Amino acid sequence: MSRVPSTGSTRRVTAAVVAQRAGVSAATVSLVVNGKAEGRVSAALVARVRAAVDELGYVVDQSASTLSSGSTRTIVMVAPDPSNPYYGSVISGVKEGLGAHYQLLLSITESGRQPDASDIRGIIGLRIAGLLVGAPSPRFLTDLPIPIPTVLVDSDGTDRSVPSVNLAAADGARALAEHLAMMGHKRVAYIDNETGSATFAARREAFWETAARIGLQVVEPAAYATVDTIDAAADAFRECWPAWRRSRATAVVCSTDTQAYGVLWEANALGVRIPDQLAVAGFDDLPYSRVSNPSLTTVALPGRELGREAARALRSLLEGADVSPRVRTLPAQLIERQSTAARF
Task: Write out the chain in H/E/C secondary structure.
Answer: CCCCCCCCCCCCCCHHHHHHHHCCCHHHHHHHHCCCCCCCCCHHHHHHHHHHHHHHCCCCCHHHHHHHHCCCCEEEEEECCCCCHHHHHHHHHHHHHHCCCCEEEEEECHHHCCCCHHHHHHHHCCCCCEEEEECCCCCHHHHCCCCCCEEEECCCCCCCCCCEEEECHHHHHHHHHHHHHHCCCCEEEEEEECCCCHHHHHHHHHHHHHHHHHCCEECCCCEEECCCCHHHHHHHHHHHHHHHHHCCCCEEEECCHHHHHHHHHHHHHHCCCCCCCCEEEEEECCHHHHCCCCCCEEEECCHHHHHHHHHHHHHHHHCCCCCCCCEEEECCEEECCHHHCCCC
Instruction: List the chain pLDDT tens, one digit each, 344 residues.
Output: 334 444 344 456 788 888 899 999 888 888 888 777 888 889 888 899 989 888 887 766 554 454 444 457 889 998 766 667 888 899 999 999 999 889 998 887 765 556 666 666 667 667 788 889 887 766 666 656 667 888 999 887 566 678 999 999 999 999 999 999 999 999 999 999 877 677 888 999 999 999 999 999 999 998 888 767 899 999 999 999 999 999 999 999 999 999 999 999 999 999 999 999 999 999 999 999 999 999 999 999 999 999 999 999 999 998 888 888 889 999 999 999 999 999 98
Whole-number pLDDT of residue 222 = 83
Whole-number pLDDT of residue 37 = 80
Whole-number pLDDT of residue 3 = 40
Whole-number pLDDT of residue 145 = 62
For 154-190, b/e burial (b = at least 16 CB within 10 A) is bbbebeeebbbbbbbbbbbbbbbbbbbbebebebbbb
Whole-number pLDDT of residue 192 = 93
Whole-number pLDDT of residue 141 = 61
Whole-number pLDDT of residue 184 = 97
Whole-number pLDDT of residue 85 = 80
According to DSSP, the β-strands at 297-300 and 333-335 are antiparallel
Whole-number pLDDT of residue 272 = 97
Measured distance between the N- and C-terminal CA atoms of the chain, rounded to whole angstroms: 72
Q: What is the pTM of this model?
A: 0.76
Whole-number pLDDT of residue 58 = 78
